[in-house]
Chain A
Amino acid sequence: MNPLKGSLRPVAGFAGAAVLLFAVAPLALTDFRLGLLAKYLCTAMVAVGICLAWGRGGLLTLGQGVFFGLGGYAMAMHLKIADAGPGNLPDFMQLYGTATELPWWWRPFANPAFALAATVLLPMAVAALLGLFVFRRRVKGAYFAILSQALAAAFAIWLIGQQATTGGTNGLTDIQGFFGYDLDDPVNQRTVYFIIAAALLALIALARQLIHSRYGELLVAVRDSEERVRFLGYDPANVKLVAYVVAAGMAGLAGALFVPAVGIISPAMIGIVPSIEFVIGAAVGGRASLVGAVLGAIGVVWAKTALSEEFPAAWTYFQGLLFIVALAFLPGGLASLAGMLRRRRARQRKATVVAVGEAA
């Protein structure tokens, strides 16, 4: 391949995506639609992490909702404290709680710097802790998937159980301000959208760098033959841990930015079902391809919003079918379809040539 062409293509891709996200979408879409797009882009950020951990590292993380939720709650806690104003309790605590002051574990989140750092570092820390225990002991494959799913279930159940301090089933709702800016103001909503779009592009760039680095090659090697990598003198546990922790940080950032875009975070967005839904987008688009995973994630949540309001039953059937078709019959996702078509055409051409040759 021409090396110049090889290095120019991603640059052109990024430039194109930037033009679409920063110029075309804000001009073409209404404020309402742009708000929806912001929400979709948050899902795409989670998909970038899933592409890295699952597509490249073979770690089927069915608990990304936990990290999305940790990021989201960290951000929402700060915003709720800020909304309430100094000395006041957040509204839901006044409603359900008997507490007269903030619980101790809420207090650090009053500090904006702490809260912002926590949105990314807290999910990474939880992932590191779990990953350390699980990967060290070579718990892998389906076992890991089930454990990560159990984590999502347990986290959602725990949040629901602590109504007085987490808002329970309702979650943290009705968030008004974002670091002093009123979120009801369309101009500020637009700014939130731009932040999300920029964050998504940054995460894609980061994931691309990781995938094309030596580490990225090693990650694929671990996915395909963990034992062999161990005999080369690497500790595969560490290799997996990095991918898992980075994916968790990406999900955390996505959750944090989801909060100002939508104004709410609740257990319904982080349990088993939403955790699997994060995976479906990446699976449909192509788990191992960054572009595929991102577009797949955006496409699937878009389809969900478009269909589920008018035809909720039909949407569920469609979603189930999408999962089955994508995974059973097209494991590489839509991203692999292009390559397959190209190969088939080449084969047909060859077959035609042979047939013509035989006829002659």
Chain B
Amino acid sequence: MTVILGQTFTGISIGAVLLLIALGLSLTFGQMNVINMAHGEFIMAGAYTTYVLQKSISDAGMSLLVALPVAFLVSGALGALLEWLLIRRLYLRPLDTLLVTWGVSLMLQQLARDIFGAPNVQTRAPDWLTGNVTLIGGADPLTVANSRLFILGLAVAAVVALASTLRLTPLGRRIRAVVQNRDLAEVSGISTARVDRTAFFVGSGLAGIAGVALTLVGPIGPTMGTNVIIDAFLVIVVGGIGQLKGTVIVAFVLGVLQSVLEYSTTVSVAKVLVLVAIVAFLQWRPQGLYTLRTRSLV
């Protein structure tokens, strides 16, 4: 029983990480239909931001908390810059965008290698995140690392923040207007170019937050973005375009699936099985879990 619960909770914490890394994509890919392969490197930028801040702010807890807004700004600025330089020229060519941003991702990785060196670096976790919480006591205890709980909380907070921004603020309304009918939004006086850039800023900023979270569970290195980006895109593909709830549900389902399969087979076989499950799922729902229905089919 504890094993099942334990695997489920491991899965939920894998899911929380997946959710954090995919959340920004649900805005840039899910809403704006831009495939930004450099998203992984924005995550990396967030992680290195944490690392740099910890060098100047010696208190690990303080530096972590400061890193959250700073990483958001750093990655967000990178995203807005990328949008302005390249992506806005490519809105009608999604596949070319994919490859162009992959070129950007290569260059950013090399930049990280030149600045921080090729080997991975590590941050210290603050004391209040190093312990465990015992969920079930007794002879067969179920414990969860504090850092995992922190990530889960961060993921939930990020989802709530993003959802309420989209739903309640003027910016959110503009983004949804542009997503649903770009031309109509333009003639209604919305500057679609500015909305695109702002949305890209927010989406990329969320990658920065994910980067901060990743420093708590693994090393920081130039290739850390490449390692997570495919999983993040799969979450969006399975979750469906244009809806946050799909991303949230799928992130946790894939997390639990991965964890359970890893427990019953090996890590590498679990990866393959998860992919098979995804292809099977797309047989049933080729547009993902949730889709925006439109009338135009041609």
Contact = CB atoms under 8 A, between A and B. Distances in A.
* Direct contact between A and B judged by beta carbons closer than 8 A: yes
B109 interface: yes
Interface stretch (B58-66, B95-103, B187-195): B95-103
Nearest to B87: A328
6 contacts: A133-B283, A138-B286, A276-B102, A321-B103, A324-B86, A327-B96
B110 A316 contact: yes
Interface string B98-114: 11101111110110011
B171 interface: no
Nearest to B90: A328
B264 interface: no
Given A141-B95, A150-B230, A157-B271, A320 B283 contact: no
B96 A154 contact: no
Q: Which among B33, B274, B275 has the greatest number of chain A C-beta atoms within 10 A? A: B275
A225 B234 CA distance: 26
B266 A146 contact: no
A162 interface: yes
Contact of B272 (A141, A149, A154): A154
B95 A142 contact: yes
Given A158-B272, A161-B266, A321-B107, A149 B100 contact: no
Interface of B: 29, 33, 35, 86, 89-90, 93-96, 98-100, 102-107, 109-110, 113-114, 226, 230, 233-234, 237, 266-269, 271-272, 274-275, 278-280, 282-283, 286, 297-298
Given A142-B98, A227-B298, A328-B100, A316 B107 contact: yes
A324 B103 contact: yes
A147 interface: yes
Contacts, number: 119
B283 A331 contact: no
B114 A60 contact: no
A272 interface: yes
A137 B282 contact: yes
Interface in A142-194: 142-143, 145-147, 149-151, 153-155, 157-158, 160-162
A87 B35 CA distance: 51
A227 B297 contact: yes
A158 B102 contact: no
B106 A328 contact: no
A322 B106 CA distance: 11
A139 interface: yes
A283 interface: yes
Contacts of A136: 283
Contacts of B106: 316, 319-320, 323
A18 interface: no
